[in-house]
Amino acid sequence: MNRDETKEAQRRSDAEAGRWRDAADRAETLVRQRLDDIDRVAEHNQIKVLRAMQRHKVSDFHFVGSTGYGYHDIGRETLDLVYAEVFGAEAAVVRPHFASGTHTIATALFGVLRPGDHLVSLTGPPYDTLSKVIGAPGDGTGSLSDFGIRYEEVPLRSDGSVDWEQAERIVRADTRVIAIQRSRGYSWRPSFTVEQIGSMIAQVRRLAPQAVVFVDNCYGEFVETIEPTEVGADLIAGSLIKNPGGGLAPTGGYIAGKREWVEKAAYRMTAPGIGGEVGAVPEGLRLLYQGLFLAPHIVGQALKGAVFAAGLFGSLGFDVHPGPLDPRTDLIQAIRFDSREQLIAFVQSVQKASPVDAHVVPEPSDMPGYSHPVIMAAGTFVQGSSIELSADAPVREPYIAFMQGGLTYAHVKYAVVSAVEELARQQLLSNYLT
């Protein structure tokens, strides 16, 4: 390539980059009010967490940790109290011993349910990994069904709302637990706001006053100013490498709610009669406290990135859910692509824009708990962390990528614009450009 050709190629590259910068600026202008709203929610939640820590007199000796059985671990015990107050609950257990959100949710459900009990999912099929926890009768895996717990689910209506006519047919006098999944999972439906969850719980109390209402709170913590436990949920659970860990927690999960049910979950976590009284945390308590303190701000940064992504991809003509101006109740931004190639290119671009393992190229592969190959961008400091920027998708029709997280808004903006540029470079945007 001679000098003139080089100059022309650079000119075209600069013009193309300028085009996407202009598109990004227009998208940000479109969503400005939503970004400001998110900042106000983050400020509210920041003060809530701060006051809880002050009220329980958190000090540096709470970060020391313990060994052996961990009896009287004041740091662990105080963290439980702080979480309970933040979530408006009677009690909580917060532990690095939980391997994942799925493990935490399974612990909560196994703590409450007994052989012969009836479990109902009010919000359609659960997230892919939880379907393995529910299992099938006699599957030999130790699933809920394997232990004789009967399961039914209420399919959602086409608009994503609860089908109460179906619920009345499925929910019975012996229904023990009614489960609600706050986030969308791998689906196109809207996530449920805390207000909507409160209305569901009120209706459940009329249908089955004896039932324990459990809410899978993953991806939802600190997105709104209140949590499901503040509108009647008996028990909630979530992962510390999602929202409440603030990007610092290296592992773990939490369970919060009414004392009776939290205690039963704690018995399942360790052993009957022991519960939350033991369980050494040799190190890392500071990260759990500090992560919780940072969580409202970090969640706000991730949300702003999701809103920006919806604004930019929506402006290009892609289907996005939620829309750029829609209310938010979880971190997840869904983007629907036309082809397998678009989907893979998007996820790979997010990986390339990561601070960790940017040189790695993700490919679709089988993953435990999933029925289809999954492609996942996860260039994160904490392996698999969903509060850090990540994107994943089952490689199946419809080709929907689910993006979530981001420790800083600037990083998410950069990653999203880079993804658009890569799609354009691979000539995968021709149907969207005029």
pLDDT in tens, the chain (434 residues): 666 655 554 555 545 556 778 989 999 999 999 999 999 999 999 999 999 999 999 999 999 999 999 999 999 999 999 999 999 999 999 999 999 999 999 999 999 999 999 999 999 998 878 999 999 898 999 999 999 999 999 999 999 999 999 999 999 989 999 999 999 887 888 999 999 999 999 999 999 999 999 999 999 999 999 999 999 999 999 999 999 999 999 999 999 999 999 999 999 999 999 999 999 999 999 999 999 999 999 999 999 999 999 999 999 999 999 999 999 999 999 999 999 999 999 999 999 999 999 999 999 998 776 778 999 999 999 999 999 999 999 899 999 999 999 999 999 999 999 999 999 999 999 766 65
Distance CA(327)–CA(317), nearest Å, equals 20
Question: Which residue from 333, 336, 212 is spatially nearest to 265, judged by alpha carbons?
Answer: 212
pLDDT of residue 20: 79
Distance CA(195)–CA(118), nearest Å, equals 26
pLDDT of residue 99: 97
Q: Could you say which architecture CATH assigns to the domain 64-282? A: 3-Layer(aba) Sandwich (3.40)
Question: Which residue from 235, 305, 250, 243 is spatially nearest to 93, judged by alpha carbons?
Answer: 235
List every span in the chain annotated with CATH 3.90.1150.60. 3-45+293-425
Query: Which residues are CB-contacts of 384 (< 8 A; sequence separation ≥ 6)?
Result: 100, 241, 378, 390
List every span in the chain annotated with CATH 3.40.640.10. 64-282
**Sheet with 399-404: strands ordered across:** 319-321, 333-337, 399-404, 390-394, 374-377
What CATH superfamily classification does 3-45+293-425 receive?
Methioning gamme-lyase, C-terminal domain (3.90.1150.60)
pLDDT of residue 128: 78
Q: Quote the tokens at residue 356.
A: 């960790």
pLDDT of residue 17: 58
Q: What is the pTM of this model?
A: 0.94
pLDDT of residue 369: 62
pLDDT of residue 16: 57
Beta bridge partner(s), residue 400: 336
**Sheet with 212-216: strands ordered across:** 91-95, 253-257, 235-239, 212-216, 175-181, 118-121, 150-153
CB atoms within 10 A of CB 21: 12
Using an 8 Å Cβ cutoff, are 78 and 137 in contact? no
138 sits in which H/E element: none
